[in-house]
Structure 1
Amino acid sequence: MSVIAIDLGHRFGRVARFGPDGGPAVTTAELTVDGVLDPVRVLPRLLGSAPAAGDVPATGPDRTAVLGRPVSDGREDELRYVVERAGLDVARVVPDPVAVALHYQAIAEGVDHTVLVCDQGATRLDLSVLAIAPDLTVHLVRTRSLRLGGDDWDAALAADLAGRLPDGVDAMSAAESLRRALGGSDRATEFFDDATGVRHEVALERSDFERAVAPLREQFLVGVAEQLTIAETAVDTVLLAGGMCAAPERRAEIEALPAAQGLTVRCDRPELAVVLGLLTLHDFGVLRVVTGPAVRSGPGFAGLDTGYPRVAVDPLLDPEPAGAAATDPEPGAGCPRVEDPEPAARQGSSSTGTDAGRARQTTAGRHDGAFEAPESEADRGSSAAPPSTDPPPPTPPSTDLPHPEATYSHPQSAEPPYTPPSYTDAPSTPSPEFPATPPTGSPLDPQAVFAVPVDQLQTLRRGDHLLVLWAWPAGALSARVRWRREGSVAGAGPERGDDVCRRRVYEHDGGFDLAVGRGAATVTVEALVAELGDGCEGASSLLVPAAPTVVAYEPSVRRRFTGRAASVTFTSETGCDLPEVRIVHSLGRFRPTSMAEGNVLHEVPAQRLAAGTPLTVEFPLPATRGPSWLVCFPADADADTDSGIDIRPTALHRLRVT
């Protein structure tokens, strides 16, 4: 399948797809109007200028598009609407910082770290903190947006060039040309025609440029350092994106910050980071993008109704009108949101008595760009929750979008208004027993159904929850999911559950979420189809082993009169028997992956580790030159597997002790 990736920015638009040689083919166009605020006028021209994406077939998989969404101004419903009008099927919309993380391969199964994405384009600097979980869940923790882009650099340089430019030359255009020509050199020269057509030579020295933009550079570095300092979970990697971050000195400036010492700063084709990251989305079928709770508007926050956490704006750099702040219209704004991977509207699955079902009804049904049909009292039943207070469906997107930065008007579109689809799935009801097949007339489906096994049944653990995944049989629009605990745990909640999963909700959430605790459980899934066909009735079952007990450790180094002393602190949320552990010291740029790659400095004997009580061991650390690491390994390579103990660092970058 050939996927078309579309990245609409304020000043530049990019379209990419895989070429005949298997590599990405990217087309970049400078926009005459704001692409984020007026995609209706921009997108058709952008697609027409891209040879790889210009000829879109009427049907087939080559019509699939993935979209990037700016965290500060982008509106998902409008992006979907415009792209679908252009004849493409929208497979998914993801925030730009997530696409950047995909470009740098920072998202992978089993990876658990926190990154800061610095995206500086023509108009804004977006600083986004992403928490990446091992189960391919990306949490958009926080985004701060500053009006500190390339246009501000050009304005500062244009003010410095006042009096040196010929009459009739646009100062902003001249400043942009000189800035780009300067690049990493010490001097740049450009030629400009005055009002009479006479050509003049204008030179720009590196020292003059640095003096003109010094205050802006300082504000950029202060913003980055602030995000690195206030992050609840320590950031271990900084990812650069946007045309302004392509400057040769940008990476070195961040690496020199005290708050960035020991961190990894990555810069690889930053101007194409978003669109290249979008092309890799097809490799992440279960990628989940979750946003944190919305921040209430107040002083220092812009009232951006984007569906993401409110974006903090520096009031000195980005003053907003007095009426810009807005309160959160959703009563459930404190709940996390999950990005919708499909353009269709979703209706949250009603619970059948489990906590997971109630959570999905609260969160999965509320997502960006979703349109939900009203539910009648008869549909809800006597045991349903109070009527929803969600805001009404959004009005059709308009091409006349006011924005404080816009200096042009947007004509009204002559197209008919967009009418979103609606769905009226009947809610499911709990079943106290586990019959082989649902009875005729059951609220599981409006007609008699057959229960058939599913394929590729698997689960991914996320703390006390399981993400259940399977391949849907042809014609199945819903499935029945049952689970039971293996072994009783005091105070662990219900021992079994029975729920119904709608296919639309499953595809929206990237799987089916079950709150089953950390113990072993048996999960049974059967798809519901109207016609049995050549298959047979039955169900697929999977025994999920108990989650291992996590023992986190963190090394530290202190200097003493007799030399350096190292300490390692072990903690666990639950009590466990810690196996014998060896602390290995290794030299070099790369973290050791086994005891053979370093020297054993200390052995921690097997002992009981109380819940929440830290265990700290100290030992001398030899004097070394260059980077070195302290990593803990079980003395017996199979000890952590056999004992159900997972020994892992609190953060990978903290293992580097020099």
Structure 2
Amino acid sequence: MIGIDLGHRFGRVGRIGPDGAPTVTATALDGADGVLEPRRALPLLFGPAPAGTAAAAAEPDPQAVLGIPASGGREDELRRAAESAGLDVARVVPDPVAVALHYGAVDEGVDRTVLVCDQGATTLELTVLAVTPDLTVRLVRTSGHRLGGDDWDAALADALAGRLPDGVDPLRAAERLRRALGTSDEAEETVEDASGVRHRLTLDRAGFERAVAPLRQRTLEAVAEQLTAAGPAVDTVLLAGGLCATPGRRAEIEDLPAAQGLTVRSHLPELAVVRGLLALRDFPVLRIVDGPAPSPARTDDRYFVPDQAADRSDPPVRDPDPEPRPRRPLPEDPEPATHRATPTTAAGAPRTATDGPRPTDAPSPPRPSPPHGPPLDEPSRPQAPDAEPAAEPTVTVPGPRRAAEPPPPAPEPPPAPHTTRAADPAGSPSGPAAPGPAPGTTAQDPADPSTDPRDHLAVPVGQLQALRRGDHLLVLWAWPDGALSARVRWRRETGSGGAGPSGGVPREGELLCRRRVYEHDGGLDLAVGRGAVTLTVEALAAAPGTDCEGASSLLVPAEAPVVEYEPSVRRRLKGRIASVAFTSPTGCDLPALRIVHSLGRFRPTSTAEGTVLHEVPAQRLPAGTPLTVEFPLPATRGPSWLVCFPADANAATDTPVDIRPTALHRLRVT
């Protein structure tokens, strides 16, 4: 796999070398803009011939991961350009996400908010990313500013006015001097005038800083504005782009008042994007979404829940091996749904033949009749069990079966256990899912064999796993060959401890997940609460010819209650007093804790890296009621931290409570 970072002026290609270390090749895109003209820029990265051709350099794996700016990039055009260059595009990733991967800011179980400062040749892009423990990266907001290298070169060209010979391009000379200066204190370049005479130009660090001082100030103001903007609090700043490699950039951001207590990282910022693209191979289930975090959605917003139309007044009948429940007819289905439940009169008693016809027995409002069916106002009449089926078969939806209900007439043998009718990839039913038309008749055009309904077997899925996302679960699995849909059942376990379910979550449920929706969303999102849940997933696939029916099951343990703490310091006449407030939204048994005070720039990771100032005894922490402890804080100079750790060394792994700070930068108390 190769990583390709296309900028406006430069392009970089990264590969994993034989020793496992990444190697990066940078190419100047003369006469082409890598962002606006990727079709012209990509061939420049691989030589005169497009990548993947016989004349190109040998590339054992043409699969590529592409980076795209968070603002201003066009993914479709970039994909087409890469495919025309002979590359197999595995994924297109926003540049800020690649930067976060380069710095290791994305990992399972990590919950943080970072600000990515990417200052390249044309723009300064500031992007706030929210990283959640389930390997989801959310692009909260992005802002672009015309503060790139071109603006630096223009300011330097103005400062060089009067020093350049006639016929020398000032912007070109300023760019060469700026790049030659790099991280040194002085640079020297040779230029030619209009007559071909060579002249020597010099530039020192002090002169460069004077020329670009206004631009540097505007850059710091833009960064400070993002750090103080409303929304999630940023705890880390990541630097990327060639201009962020200039000396002093990291220290300038750390000195901002809005960045006090934050972590600022700058390691190979000019290669951050392409190295992050190569690191993507370690994150096969990474999920990237845009915009601020939405409010919790209903489980059935995008997936069909079969038992929604069931009569909830009747108690559910638990069957050790229930028949799969078919999908309701879609609104555009021309055939009205016919329920198999016993017809009743208006008073609720069972109807008889003397009660007379009713306009309709279906609970749903009337819909237009099919072209060859009876008129809309014609009453429905019972059909004898031995009657011939109608010319147009009716799609039936079984209601809740009662013990006293006689079995419905079955014109054909019942389907085998765990079978259902086929469904097309678009999600519309391709045939009746319950006992329907007589043998030899289908709801589709019989002349088209591709539309004939076929029985599908319920087969187990592979690699079933679930990741916690608060009240939701991200369910992932590997689809068997030929499966286009899967049936998912879940049941909340009682007496499992942990936080309770969110309001309105049923104890158990079932839905049908389409493969195209699963692949688009990167998994199946279920709102099941925070307690323990048993999942059962079975894929619906064509009969493979072997006996492999069944389902895959997974028990997801309850999520540990979360206890957040936040220290604060205030001054009194007798010295400084520190207070730590503990809160839990669900209530739990708080274990014994130790509050550690540590000096230095780095946050302590254990009680051995600081001094224990206070011990919190084990006690019950009610839901929503804060517990505040106070203690004197010694007088110190320089940065210091207040961090809580379990008093028992084994409690970090044995306790069912998750102790975490409200924000990492809040732990820094000076």
Alignment match, 1:377: 332
Secondary structure at 1:377 match in 2: coil
Structure 1 position 526, deviation (Å): 1.0
Q: What is the CA deviation profile of residues 182-227 of structure 1, one whole-angstrom value per residue up to 9, with x for unaligned ones?
A: 2233332222111111111222233322222111010001011111
Match of 1:504 among 499, 513, 516: 516
Distance 1:50 1:582, change over 3 A: farther
Match of 1:35, SS state, is coil
Gap regions ≥5 residues in structure 2: 309-329, 338-363, 366-396, 402-415, 431-452, 495-499
Q: Are residue 647 (structure 1) and residue 659 (structure 2) matched?
A: yes
Superposition pairs of residues 157-196 of structure 1, within 5 angstroms:
157-196=156-195
Query: Which of 419, 424, 436 in structure 2 is aligned with 1:438?
Result: 419
Shift in Å, 1:231: 4.9
Please give the alpha-carbon distance, in whole angstroms, between the structure 2 residues aligned to 1:227 and 1:241.
16
Q: 5 Å matches for 1:45-124? A: 45-48=44-47, 62-124=61-123
What are the superposed Cα offsets for residues 352-405 of structure 1, whole Å, 9 maximum, x if unpaired? Answer: 2699xxxxxxxxxxxxxxxxxxx9934999999xxxxxxxxxxxxxxxxxxxxx
Q: What is the Cα deviation at residue 29 of structure 1?
A: 1.3
| Counterpart among 8, 21, 26 of residue 6 in structure 2 | 8
TM-score, length-normalised on structure 1? 0.76
After the TM superposition, which of the residue ranges 532-541 and 54-63 deviates more from structure 2?
Answer: 54-63
SS at match of 1:173: helix
1:541 matched to 2:583? The reply is: no
SS of 2:228's equivalent?
Answer: helix
1:521-565 Cα deviation digits (max 9, x unpaired): 111011222133445111111121221211100112223332221
Is the partner of 1:219 in helix, strand or coil?
helix
Equivalent residues in 2 for 1:395-410 (5 A)?
Answer: none
Relative to structure 1, the CA distance from residue 167 to residue 489 in structure 2 (aligned partners, 3 Å threshold; closer, same or farther) is closer
Larger radius of gyration: 2
Change (3 A) 1:234 1:111: same
| Residue of structure 2 equivalent to 1:464 | 471
Please give the alpha-carbon distance, in whole angstroms, between the structure 2 residues aligned to 1:336 and 1:33: 45
Counterpart-to-counterpart distance in 2, 1:284 and 1:548 = 25
Q: For the structure 1 residues 146 and 336, does the alpha-carbon distance in structure 2 shift closer, same or farther, using more than 3 Å as the test?
A: farther
Tell me the secondary structure at the aligned position of residue 162 of structure 1: coil
CA offset at residue 253 of structure 1?
1.4
**Which residue matches 1:351?**
304
In the alignment, does 2:593 pair up with 1:581? yes
* In 1: Cα distance, 2:475 partner to 2:226 partner: 35
Cα deviations by residue, 1:305-336 (Å, 9 ceiling, x for unpaired): xxxxxxxxxxxxxxxxxxxxxxxxxxxxx899
1:521 match: 533
Whether contact under 8 Å (2:487, 2:510) holds in the other structure is yes
Q: Secondary structure at the match of 1:555?
A: strand
Moved more, 158-167 or 168-177: 158-167
The CA distance in 2 between the partners of 1:128 and 1:652, in whole Å, is 19
* Fraction of identical pairs, as percent: 70
Alpha carbons of structure 1 residues 444 and 563: separation in structure 2 relative to 1, 3 Å: farther
Q: Are the counterparts in 1 of residues 604 and 643 from structure 2 also a CA contact under 8 Å?
A: yes
Q: Does the aligned pair in 1 maintain the 2:43–2:51 contact within 8 Å?
A: no
In structure 1, how many angstroms separate the alpha carbons of the residues matched to 2:334 and 2:25? 50
Query: Which secondary structure state, in structure 1, belongs to the residue aligned with residue 518 of structure 2?
Result: helix
Q: Output the CA distance in 1 between the equivalents of 2:143 and 2:194.
A: 42
Q: Residue 594 of structure 2 aligns to a residue in which SS? A: strand
Tell me, in whole angstroms, the C-alpha distance in 2 between the residues paired with 1:59 and 1:353. Answer: 53
Compute the RMSD of aligned alpha carbons.
Answer: 3.4
C-alpha distance in 2 between matches for 1:261 and 1:130: 19
- Corresponding position of 1:406: none
Could you tell me whether the CA contact under 8 Å between 1:15 and 1:50 is conserved in 2? no
Deviation at 1:58, TM superposition (A): 14
1:478 match: 485
Residues 573 and 161 of structure 1, relative CA distance in 2, 3 Å threshold: same
Distance 1:254 1:381 in 2: 66
Q: Which residue of the other structure, out of 564, 574, 581, is the alignment partner of 1:552?
A: 564
> Which residue identity lines up with residue 281 of structure 2 in the other structure?
H
Native 8 Å contact 2:115 2:126 kept in 1: yes
- Cα separation, 2, equivalents of 1:474 and 1:153: 55
CA contact (8 A) 1:452 1:529 kept: yes
Moved more, 43-52 or 191-200: 43-52
Q: 2:584: which partner in 1? A: 572
Q: Which moved more, 1:37-46 or 1:53-62?
A: 53-62
Distance 1:645 1:132 in 2: 21
Does the CA-based 8 Å contact 2:581-2:628 persist in structure 1? yes
Match of 2:621 in 1: 609
SS at match of 1:554: strand
Matching residue's letter, 2:28: E
Alignment of 1:136-535 (within 5 A): 136-292=135-291, 350-352=303-305, 377-378=332-333, 436-440=417-421, 447-487=454-494, 491-534=503-546
Comparing 501-510 with 278-287, which one deviates more in the overlay? 501-510
- The Cα offsets for residues 143-163 of structure 1, whole Å up to 9 and x where unpaired, read as 110011000000111112122
- SS at 1:439's partner residue? strand
Instruction: Report the 3-state secondary structure (helix = DSSP H, G, I; strand = E; otherwise coil) of the residue aligned with 1:450.
Output: strand
Deviation, structure 1 residue 60: 11
